[in-house]
Structure 1
Amino acid sequence: MAEPVPQQKMSTKELMIVIVIALGSFMAGLDATIVNIALPAIAKSFEVSTVMVSWVLNAYLIILVSLLLAASRLGDMKGYRNIFIGGFALFTIGSALCGLSPTIGMLILARMVQAVGGAVISALGAVMVTSYLSTSLRGQALGIVAMFTMLGAALGPVVGGFLTSAFSWQYIFFVNLPVGIVAIILGMKILPQRDPVSPAAKLDIPGVLLVFVALSTLIVGLTSVQGSNAMPGLIALVISVIFWILFIVRERRAAQPLVNLSLFAHRGYSLQNVNVMLIQMAMAGVMVIMPFYLELVKKIPTDNAGTILLALPIGMILTAPLAGRISDVIGTKKPIITGFVICTIALLLLSTLSAHTSVGHIGIYLFLLGAGTGIAFSPLNSAVMGECEAKDRGSTSGLVKMMTNLGSSLGVAFVMLVATIAAGPKLAEYSAHTLEGAGLASAFDAAFLFCMGLEILGILLMLAVKDKMPSGSSDGEVAMGF
């Protein structure tokens, strides 16, 4: 009897399911970048300091990252469909509250509400794709979801700048409302109702609290240690280490832990989770340091600098879905390594930038970095999800999102730290407006080389991962069942 031909094309129903899930990723990506450009306008509107307005970002990030594991466990307990739609509703309500906030305190609280919903829709995206679609479609489906995430992140600064300039900062939150309403209606009609994978499970509340303190002190510490008074940041980092240790001890002893730590005994699971963090660290580091290079060294106006930066997410958008589909056919290891190699080359080229480098070359290097990241990222997500059993997919989906967001935080913090060390006293001189921006070029080179080192480490880790060919068929747990 002939072997069945693996399914490689989505049905209309499957594509609609992926689009609903991808809308959540689009909103998460958009919200991750749309707020930054409006912070000066928000600070001026409420007449508050830069430090105070930065908590509009920090509060959201702390809640989001801390609740990702809890959100994925709730999906396992109550069913992915209902929790996902509920998270969408909470995110949409939080967005409305943000736009209507009369004070900075209310805005920060509304951002925390928004972050709870954001944690749910972020955590459950990958596990819903894995659960609702056959194994042979996993890579291309995750590639579509990744493309929507990157599209949202790419449009964030552009849309945010336009809405803030043309109307007011409130509209950067109101823009979420129509997308959220459409996604909720589509989700109620399209997402299949499935029995929870772990209906008798219980939420590990002590674990949630421990990871909240560990992550929040880590983020606060990393953002504070670079200031003139580094001691509070160092204290926060020490507290973070203590609570990470307590979290690991708790998870080892808990009857129903947030994360099945035994999964980390598998080399592929552990190393590829680390690589999720590494590739995100490099990308986030470049995205935070490039505006300084463009504006300080190249003397390019802010709006034009934002347009140049679009080359990176465009590279990701164009390659992620294709890479996902290819990984469904040839396996995940080769695309992942290829992506890391391309990123390494791109960062080596970026480390050669000077005050005389043409804008065209800068755009090509950024596009190349985005293309490499897109080639590696969706197969990497697919590989991690494929390393665990169905009962652990929810927590793994949340873990991947936590590693992604943690990578963003660490990337920003470490790249800025490397640039500060490389610049030495020059950075202080620049802040006093006594140094030409070209004098900081070596600091940017050091930052790009640091990011290149992260990519090289990613290649070495992937070489130690055993290659797995795609199964090409559903394993029964991911059948559609309409």
Structure 2
Amino acid sequence: MPDVRLASPQGRWILLTTVLGSSMALLDSTVVNVALPAIGRDLDADLAALQWTVNAYMLTLAGLILLGGSLGDQYGRRKVFVVGVVWFAVASLLCGLAPNAGVLIVARALQGIGGALLTPGSLALIQASFHPDDRGRAVGLWSGFGGIGAAVGPFLGGWLVDGPGWRWVFLLNVPLALLCVPVALRHVPESADGRAHGRFDVLGALLGAAALGLVTYALIEADGGGPVVVLSAVAGIAAAVAFVYVERRRPDPMMPLDIFASRQFTAVNLVTLCVYAAFGGFFFLAVVQLQVVSGYSALGAGTALLPATLLMLLFSARSGELGERIGPRVPLTVGPLLCAAGMLLMLRVGPDASYVLDVLPAVLVLGLGMVTLVAPLTATVLASVDVARAGLASGINNAAARAAGLIAVAALPLVVGMGEEAYRSADAFDAAFGRAMYVCAGVLVLGAVLAFATVRPLPPDCRRPECRSHGWVTAPPLEGERAKGRIA
């Protein structure tokens, strides 16, 4: 039985290294958006290249995060976590040294692989190391510090872009890894799941990633048309069909399809797709709008959205408690509607926008909506399946949210008619951004309607702190319990 106490020196070291590791991946999910205009100018990149700069990372992370947890169970969570941190740091170094957009995109995809190894492992190490009496508080601290990292990330990214340059957004991960790895090797005990059998659904992971990648390519390159785009779309759909077939037939699939027999689980994941698609599109475009159209610096744009994350940190616990009392249906209906209202308020953010009068009201309403829905959403996912499958359910929900953001970043510019050079023209980007906010708000309203129509008042059973005190805005928090050797 795990016996490390939180108050011991070893316990503090374990908490430090897991927070550092998860913060590296979490920061790169949010910070890079702030740097996009600077990257575009420096590397002479068009909008499609900027989309790939974001999506290459999300593609490999979303496609492989389920597999990453299983590898940790089998080969040792500390070992896989350390490999993930080193991999992530090397890929970050490549990002920081990238001479052109093509190299940056490849390096970002490699970063996502590292993220898929270290993200599930960071929480799993806490679950596997700490004494049961301290585990809840340790997870709460891990999640809370991760939320603080998410809040500081855009501010830090903006400061780096305006100061030493955008490359330091990536290079900063290298010293963090140099601190994280020795601490992990010296102080974190190794752990593995004795029930893990060594068989991994590599084919399922590859088919899932291929489906996402091909469809993403078709959406980003659709403006150019041509047979390659059509073939990519067809191949992506075929890979998705093959993924479903493989998952149905394999004895130990990465994503057992029978878990969707739970109507509640299926319903909440549909809501998740709507909510995080809108979030992905919003956070991709909003910081660019503030810089290109409103004239904000990178630091100003990163700081502008900070109140939303701070609201998440301060009030997620109360929202989770409220959801436990009244059930998930109301929060999952009202939350997306508040977020939609916040995005419609962003229509006021144009040239020379006032932060207090134009930006802040939109960000506060958006933050209130996120507070209302995120903790109850995670709790409902965990309550919709058997306790033994809670980790699997959380992993699927997390991957679904990341995939939704991936598709949104690829599709939204196409849907709203944002040309390849739009971000170089304030007028063109402003017009397209307005249309995009209407689309994002519409998707959120659809999520609210789905929640009201399909989510049933099952009492959420989420007594774990990772459902509460966090500031995650790109994906729901992961649950750390193991389930039959699969990722949490």
By the TM > 0.5 criterion, same fold?
yes
The equivalent of 1:73 in structure 2 is 70
The equivalent of 1:5 in structure 2 is none
State the distance in 1 between where 2:213 and 2:292 align. 32
Question: Map of 1:280-291 to 2, 5 A cutoff?
Answer: 280-291=276-287
Question: Map of 1:234-313 to 2, 5 A cutoff?
Answer: 234-291=230-287, 294=290, 299-303=294-298, 304-313=300-309
CA deviations on 1:35-57 (whole Å, 9 max, x unpaired) are 34445555665666665565444
Change (3 A) 1:132 1:238: farther
The equivalent of 1:407 in structure 2 is 404
Shift of 1:301: 3.1
Structure 2, unpaired ranges of 5+: 465-480, 483-488
The equivalent of 1:443 in structure 2 is 435
Q: Does 1:123 align with 2:88?
A: no
Question: Map of 1:370-381 to 2, 5 A cutoff?
Answer: 370-381=367-378
Residue aligned with 2:331, SS: helix
Higher mean alpha-carbon deviation, 195-204 vs 100-109, is at: 100-109
The equivalent of 2:341 in structure 1 is 348
Change (3 A) 1:11 1:278: farther
Q: Does 1:466 align with 2:458?
A: yes
Change (3 A) 1:355 1:268: closer
Task: Check the 8 A contact 1:342/1:368 in 2, yes or no.
Answer: no
Higher mean alpha-carbon deviation, 430-439 vs 375-384, is at: 430-439
Task: Check the 8 A contact 2:55/2:410 in 1, yes or no.
Answer: no
Task: Check the 8 A contact 1:211/1:247 in 2, yes or no.
Answer: yes
Shift of 1:202: 0.4
Paired residue total? 456
Alpha-carbon RMSD across the aligned residues, in angstroms, is 4.2
State the distance in 1 between where 2:427 and 2:105 align. 36
Letter in 1 for 2:30: T
Task: Check the 8 A contact 1:217/1:240 in 2, yes or no.
Answer: yes
Task: Check the 8 A contact 1:66/1:216 in 2, yes or no.
Answer: no
Match of 1:91 among 88, 91, 96: 88
State the distance in 1 between where 2:168 and 2:134 align. 37
Residue aligned with 1:201, SS: coil
Change (3 A) 1:436 1:38: closer
Structure whose alpha-carbon radius of gyration is higher: 1
Residue aligned with 1:221, SS: helix
Structure 1, unpaired ranges of 5+: 1-9
Question: Map of 1:99-248 to 2, 5 A cutoff?
Answer: 99-101=96-98, 106-125=103-122, 145=142, 147-225=144-222, 227-229=223-225, 232-248=228-244
State the distance in 2 between where 1:376 and 1:23 align. 27
Task: Check the 8 A contact 1:75/1:83 in 2, yes or no.
Answer: yes
Task: Check the 8 A contact 1:312/1:367 in 2, yes or no.
Answer: yes
Task: Check the 8 A contact 2:78/2:121 in 1, yes or no.
Answer: no
Residue aligned with 1:255, SS: coil
State the distance in 1 between where 2:342 and 2:168 align. 38
Task: Check the 8 A contact 1:217/1:239 in 2, yes or no.
Answer: yes
State the distance in 1 between where 2:137 and 2:356 align. 31
State the distance in 2 between where 1:145 and 1:125 align. 9
Q: Does 1:26 align with 2:23?
A: yes
Match of 2:381 among 384, 397, 400: 384
Residue aligned with 1:284, SS: helix
The equivalent of 2:468 in structure 1 is none
Shift of 1:289: 3.9
Once the two structures are aligned, what percentage of the paired residues are identical? 25
Task: Check the 8 A contact 2:423/2:429 in 1, yes or no.
Answer: no
Task: Check the 8 A contact 1:65/1:119 in 2, yes or no.
Answer: yes
Letter in 2 for 1:402: A
